Amino acid sequence: MIWRTFSGEPLKQPVKKSVEETIIRETNAGYKLKVCIGTDSQVRGAETEFATVIVFLREKRGGFMFICNDKTRQPFTVKERMLVEVAKSIEIAYELCDLFNTYDIEMEVHADINTSPQFKSNEALREAMGYILGMGFAFKAKPDAFASSCCADKIVN
C-alpha cells in the first residue's frame, strides 16, 4: 500500500513510522492530537476505487491527512462494499493502535454508513458497528463520520 500526503507527496517510509514521527512532531509543537481513520469507495463501471485516510486533528488548530488509494475489479453488493470499507479502516487502525496507546492519542474509526434505514448503506450498519466496537475502537457513522464521508470521499470523487 502506497501512502501519501494530501498534496500528493509519497510518504518516504512505512506508514507506521510516518505516523509515529508525525505524532512526535505535532505533540512537541504543543498540539493535542486526535486521529480519525475512514475509508470511502466509488464504483466506476467494473472498477471500485477505495480511499483510506488517516486524519490528524489538532485541537482547535485544523488538521491534515495521509491517504492510500486502491482499486479492484471485484464486484460487490452495497453491503459488501460498505463492509470492505470498514475492513480497510480497521486494518490500518489495528496496525497503528499501539502507537496511539503509547502516545495517548484518541482514535476513532469512521464508517461511511448512513444511520437512516431509508439508505442502502444502512444494511451494513449493525455488522460494521459490531466489527469496529468488537476490535475495541471508537465508532462513528454518518453524519458524524467525516473521515470517511468527507475526507476520503473527496479523494475518490
Q: Residues 6 or more apart from 92 whose CB is under 8 A from it? A: 15, 37, 52, 54, 68
Residue in this structure with the C-alpha cell 476505487, named with its chain if needed: 49
Q: Residue 153: is its pLDDT beyond 80? A: no
Q: Which of helix, strand or coil describes residue 135?
A: coil
Q: At 157, is the pLDDT very low, low, confident or very high (cuts 50, 70, 90)? A: low
* Structural domain count, the chain: 1
CATH number at residue 135: 3.30.420
Q: Sign of torsion, CA 61 129 149 87?
A: positive
**More confident of the two residues 18 and 151:** 18
The mean predicted confidence, pLDDT, of the chain is: 93
95 versus 146: which is more confidently predicted?
95
Distance between CA 121 and CA 61 in Å, rounded? 32
- E strand or H helix that includes residue 132: helix 125-134
Q: What is the pLDDT of residues 120-144, one digit of tens each?
A: 888 888 899 999 999 999 999 888 8
Residue 30 has pLDDT above 90, yes or no: yes
Residue 117's domain comprises 3-156
Q: pTM value?
A: 0.93
pLDDT tens, position by position, 41-93:
999 999 999 999 999 999 989 999 999 999 999 999 999 999 999 999 999 99
Residue 4: C-alpha distances to residues 7, 84, 97 (Å): 8, 21, 20
Q: Determine contact, residues 69/51, Cβ cutoff 8 Å.
A: yes
